[in-house]
Amino acid sequence: MKRFFSLCILSIFMLTFAGCSQLVRSRTEIDRIFNTRIVAIDSTDDNKILYTIVTKTAMTDTAGQGGGSAASDVLVSNGATVFEAARKMGEYAHRKPHYGHTEFIIFGEDTAREGILPYLDFISRNQEFRYNAKIYIIQGHTANDFITKVNEAKIFLADRLSLMEDNSYAISISDKVTLAEALFIFGKENIATFLPVIAIAPSKPGELPSQGPYDMAMKGYAIFKEDKLVEFLDEDMSRGVNWVKNRMRSAVILVDAPDKKKVSLEIAQSKTTIKPFIDENGLQCTISINFSTNLSETMSEEELFTIESFDYLKKQQEKQVKQNVEKVIHYALEKDMDIFGLLSPFIIKYPMMKDELREKWRELFPEIKFNVEVDSKINRTYLITESVNTK
């Protein structure tokens, strides 16, 4: 009994109070870790990887109020692989990099054009990363550039990004894509996909100045073939993708009133269903969009609160949406890129043809005949019915 107790006490002391025991090396104090919020990966010209990680400065809340100092802490290193680059940070890092809180993974445009899947291996393998981290592509710059340029803003980069994400629902030109989703899509063969894009923007409206301060902005989708970036879509096209993929949350539709003045309609609800169909004419696909809008603003002086005008506005908005969607479909067919992931609806409907469809999808996709059906209604007009313009 005596021996047992002394052994117990000895081992407890040994294990608890030995500062850097060989047995348990993963103990790190919370204030000694570098809590990465953003991971940025670029490939450089000499086939190396430029690896940038960003965290919030620890003392932001108390010390950062007065001066214009950046709210972020940035570490940069390079290496032949992402892991090597990450470990090389040990050469000078003041705190141990930790990836458990990584919320954003961003890639520069050039890197994305070469393909991003190789870089995702480290991220999906490392046990600290979470699969709900979001992936973004930087338009026109490297990710490192983006971070150094935008970092001068007072608000912390990652906070800014997530706030932007929250607010972007109002225009629905892009949507977040998580690591899990990206891996899911990249895992499927013959499917093109899209990732949201961020660009460096001037802090005041106008052209991008050569000197800071800079800001950032959401810019639609980047289209990927397999894992390689092909093209950036403009806002209308990106919204078209959202329409087809049923990712529409809200947006503004501008239509003309009968007197050619502008009327803004706000999308309140929308639902898109894809109905695939195979017959002797080949593959067909009906995309039916059902949405409802609210009248948010009118510049028109005419009386709009009538059945006829509502009908008129309704037709206008349907026409616009249909055009929007058809443009994107046309683009996809032309480029032979299944950005809508239409293979899944087809094989769900025709499971017996699963293997055949999968194999020949690249040939079959451009031949699909699309049929877009749009149906809508206008719900309400908020506090006033007639415009104050109406005399």
Partner 1 sequence: MLNYKNSSRNAEDIVFEETFDYNELELTFRNIQSIIGSYSDFVYRNINIVNDKKLEAYMVYIDGMVGTQLVSDYVLKPLMQADVFAKCSSEADVISIIEQGTVYYSNAKKRTNINDVLNDVLTGSAAVIFDKHRIAFTFETKGFDKRPVSEPISENVIKGAKDAFNETIRSNTATCRRKIKSPNLAIEETIVGKQSKTPIAICYMKNIVDDSLVQEVKRRVNDISVAHAITASFIEEFIIDNKNSPFPQIMYTERPDRFCANLLEGRIGLIIDGLPVAFIAPGTLLQFVQAPEDYSQHYLISSLIRYVRFTSMFVTLLLPAFYISITTFHQEMIPTELTFSIVASKVGVPFPMFVEVLLMLIAFELLVEAGLRLPQTIGQTVSIVGALVVGQAAVEAKLLSPATVIIVATTAITSFTMPNQDLSNALRLWRFLLAIASSIIGMYGLTMGLFLLINQWCRMDSFNVPYLSPFIGDEKLQLQDSLFRFPLSTMKNRPESLKTKNKQRMK
Partner 2 sequence: MQQNPGAKDKASTRQLAMLYIITGFSPAIRFLPSFAAKVAKEAGWASPFMAVIPIGLNIFFFHRIFSKTKDKSTFEVINDILGKFAGSFVIFLHLIWIMLLLAFNIRLHGERLISTVFPNINVTFFIVVTLIVTSVVLRSGATAIARMGEFLTPILLLLFTFVSVFLLPNIRADAILPVYFNDIIPMFKASFGTLYLFSFGLLIFMVSPQIANKKGIGKILVKAALVYFTMIVVLLLMSIGILGSFVAAKASNPFLIIVKQISILDTIENIESLVIAMWLLSDSMSIIILSIVTLNIMKHLFKLSDQKNLINIFFVFMYIASLGIAQNRLEIDVFNSAIFIYVSVFFGFAMPFLLYAVGKIRRKI
Site for partner 2 contains 163 (CB under 8 A): no
Binding window for partner 2 (CB under 8 A); candidates: 130-138, 168-176, 225-233, 326-334: 130-138
Beta strands in the chain (DSSP E): 33-35, 38-43, 49-56, 72-79, 96-98, 104-107, 134-139, 192-202, 214-225, 228-232, 252-256, 262-279, 282-298, 369-378
Closest CB 93 distance from partner 1, rounded Å: 16
Site for partner 2 contains 20 (CB under 8 A): no
- Selection from 39, 222, 34, 55 nearest residue 134 by Cα: 39
Closest CB 154 distance from partner 1, rounded Å: 16
Output 95 or 188, the one with its CB closest to partner 2.
188
Site for partner 2 contains 254 (CB under 8 A): no
Phi, psi of 30 (to 5 degrees): -65, -30
Site for partner 2 contains 16 (CB under 8 A): no
Cα–Cα distance list, 140 to 109, 222, 225, 231, 273 (Å): 6, 12, 19, 12, 35
Residue 306 binds which of partner 2, partner 1, none (CB < 5-8 A, kind-dependent): none
Site for partner 2 contains 188 (CB under 8 A): yes
Q: Find the binding residues for partner 2 in span 312-341 (CB under 8 A).
A: 341
Site for partner 2 contains 26 (CB under 8 A): yes
Output 200 or 274, the one with its CB closest to partner 2.
274
- Answer yes or no: are the C-beta atoms of 78 and 51 closer than 8 Å: yes
Amino acid at 36: T
Site string for partner 2, 71-100 (x = CB under 8 A): -----------------------------x
Taking each helix axis from N to C terminus, what angle separates 235-244 and 307-335, rounded to the nearest 10 degrees? 100
Residue 371 binds which of partner 2, partner 1, none (CB < 5-8 A, kind-dependent): none
Q: Which of 183, 278, 299, 333 binds partner 2 (CB under 8 A)?
A: 183
Output 179 or 197, the one with its CB closest to partner 2.
179
Phi, psi of 189 (to 5 degrees): -80, 155
Output 55 or 193, the one with its CB closest to partner 1.
55
Task: Provide the Cα torsion 243, 248, 254, 255; round to 10°.
Answer: 50
Q: How far apart are CA 226 and CA 185, in angstroms?
A: 9
3-state secondary structure of 118: helix
DSSP code of residue 368: P
Output 184 or 310, the one with its CB closest to partner 2.
184
Site for partner 2 contains 124 (CB under 8 A): yes
- Answer yes or no: are the C-beta atoms of 233 and 241 closer than 8 Å: yes
Q: Which stretches of the chain bind partner 2, using CB under 8 A?
A: 23-26, 100, 124, 127, 130-132, 178, 180, 183-184, 187-188, 341, 344-345, 347-348, 351-352, 354-355
